[in-house]
Amino acid sequence: MAYRFRRTLNSLAGLLIALSVGMAPWVSSEAASKAKPAASKAQKTQKAKAKPQPAARKAAAKAPRGQARAEKALPRSKARSVAGNGLRAPKRQMAARLAPPPRPSFGQIYGLHATDDELDLKSSVALVVDQDTNEVLFSKNPEAVLPIASITKLMTALVVTEAGLPLHEALTVVRDDVDATAGNRSRLQEGTELSRGEMLHLSLMASENRAAHVLGRTYPGGMGAFVTAMNRKARELGMRDTRYVEPTGLSSDNQSSARDLTQLVRAAMAHPIIRELSTSLEASVPVGAKQVQVQFRNTNGLVRNPEWEIGLQKTGYISAAGRCVVMQAEMAGRKLIMVLLDSAGKYSRIGDAERLRKWVADTSLVPALAPAAARVAPMSAGLPAGASTVQPR
């Protein structure tokens, strides 16, 4: 009997377990079906709350369209700002911490910026001389030998011009020109075909590195012969502190002194084409295989200033050289050559030039300055009609 009783109990327990397992899906489905109406009711309630009331609709209709859009976009913009503050800001801060500090110029390394001058110039080297008499009007570290950056292109132009090479000859930007100027901004794509005159124009006015490299590469005998001609011309001019290794100025091994550069400016002034192209305001040339017209502008903003009458100019910059500029300017009938090297700050060389101009005007060296007369400098042969010179300097 006891055995049968235990067997009966075991059978009842198994039946109860089977019933409970079988009913579980039914129970869960029933609970879910009951939960769905509850959730839908909650969603409808939430939508009803979010739905604007009639008064709010009227106010939104009266509000300007842009204001209504801005109010709608406000939550999203807030979310973006929160995301930006939470995620992007630390990334920017980390990038700023990891960015290498700017490299000092040679003038900073040599301590030339510690030299005091009465005008408190930001350039470590400055020299102003009379073009005709060679009288020194202002001098600061004139014999310091420093990298000269794109002022190199003034010698490049002088060698090309005195070689008498045809300005109408078509020259093409090739892979060697691109590789030689890699890492530096240039809008002359590989395959761009321009005349030698156009390359010379862009090199002097817009400081185009690939244009200058093309001029050197296409010189009779190649780049080696061109660099040799540059150094030979420097010796002929008495530029004993000057050395060139390439025609663009990208190398810090292209070095000179302010005193030597006054000789270079004086020699370049003898060529009208260099004067005209270096002071041209802008030019448009076809670039690339599709011949897209691209506008180039002068890198020296002073050519647009009517208070300046600039006969020749060239700017330059690499980190080793700082900001540089050489100019020939006529002030009330007196022709002056100005050299500024290793200026600290993007616009400091222009500020230094203005200080020197005003200082010269305020002293008894020349009469007070008068605004330069408007003039139009014609383009030289080999340049397109759209690349003509424009306004006064």
Number of H helices and E strands in the chain, helices first, is 13, 11
For residue 296, the cross-strand partners are 283
- Active-site residue (options: 150, 186, 256, 257): 150
Instruction: Give the bridge partners for 127, in sequence order.
Output: 139, 339
Q: Which of 140, 153, 233, 314 is catalytic?
A: 153
Let me know if 207 is a catalytic residue: yes
Is 150 an active-site residue? yes
Closest-CA residue to 128 (of 300, 256, 242, 265): 265
DSSP per residue over 82-134, as a string?
Answer: HHIIIIIHHHHHHHHHHSPPPPPPHHHHTTGGG---TT--SEEEEEEEETTT-
Burial of 38 by CB count in 10 Å (0-12 exposed, 13-18 middle, 19+ buried)? exposed
* 205: nearest Cα among 349, 290, 84, 301: 301
Q: Is 324 left (phi over 0), alpha (psi -120 to 50) or beta?
A: beta
Q: How many CA atoms lie within 13 A of 20 on its CB side?
A: 6
Neighbours of 187 (CB within 10 A): 16
Q: How far apart (Å, rounded) are the C-alpha atoms in residues 379 and 168?
A: 13
Q: Which of the residues 203, 207, 278, 280 is marked catalytic?
A: 207
Is 29 tagged catalytic? Answer: no
Distance CA 155, CA 286 (A): 26
Residue 337's nearest CA partner among 242, 230, 264 is 264
CB 126 within 8 A of CB 140: yes
Active-site amino acid positions: 150, 153, 207
